[in-house]
Amino acid sequence: MTVFHFFNCAILTFGPHAVYYSATPLSEYDTIGTSAKAAAVYLGTALVKLVCLATFLKESENGNFDPYQELLKVLINFIDVAGLYFALTQLTHRNISQNHKFQAVGLGWAFADSVLHWLAPLWVGARGLEFTWEYVFQGLEANANLVLNLSLAALGSLMWLRKNKPRILIPIIYACAGVLATMPSITSYLRRALGWQPAKAVGFELFSSLMMAFLSWQLFSACQRPA
């Protein structure tokens, strides 16, 4: 049952990515190349982030919530946004429509994120005899991350790839993008400073990601109307 549990948690963590790819038209247009390139860009971004964290962040002795350190972490998270920008705009993609480009990039990005974050802990921890809910929660978090990354990619493509946007919506787009970018910091703040239980924190993440996804969808379809 230990290997079984690992298998279950792996399905929960990585399954939705595969399902998303095969369910949407992405599979028809064979956008796996785009996703792979996006995953590679994510790896590069992660490396740059790690170097920055190591250079600029001090190790906190008592594990309390230090606003200055958290601010630094938020700034470093914006490197994520920069990486996404690079993936969306600078790389050469095959001729796929705007619609599918952001989905493919978001999917690749999210998949690389999940693998880097969750594969190693899952492999080491979930195969033991001891049972904890931890890995199921991690899987749910990975799902929420997928949705968040797709929303961020959507808003990113709106910001940088679409030239004619309605004037009123522009600040809203930027605000949503900002919220999405800082979402990891917000969740870590909730977990550590406010001491929320893991179940509560994961619930919040799922809920907020769905909300943001809905918002992004509305914004995207609103921007598509002037054709």
Interface with other proteins (CB under 8 A): 1-8, 11-12, 15-16, 18-20, 22-25, 27-30, 32, 124-125, 127-131, 136
Give the DSSP H/E element, type plus range, for residue 4.
helix 2-23
Distance from C-alpha of 153 to C-alpha of 32, rounded to nearest angstrom: 16
> In the complex, what is the shortest distance from the CB of residue 104 to other proteins, in angstroms, rounded to a whole number?
13
Q: Cβ closer to other proteins: 69 or 99?
A: 99
To other proteins, the closest distance from the beta carbon of 109 in angstroms equals 18
The count of other CB atoms within 10 Å of the CB of residue 94 is 11
State which residue, 19 or 161, has the beta carbon closest to other proteins: 19
Q: Are 3 and 108 in contact (CB under 8 A)?
A: no
Surface-to-core class of residue 60, CB atoms within 10 Å of its CB (0-12 exposed, 13-18 middle, 19+ buried):
exposed
- From the CB of 28, what's the least distance to other proteins, in Å? 5
Q: Which CB, 8 or 77, lies closer to other proteins? A: 8
Tell me whether residue 22 or residue 218 sits nearer to other proteins (CB atom). Answer: 22
Number of CB atoms found within 10 A of residue 11's CB: 12
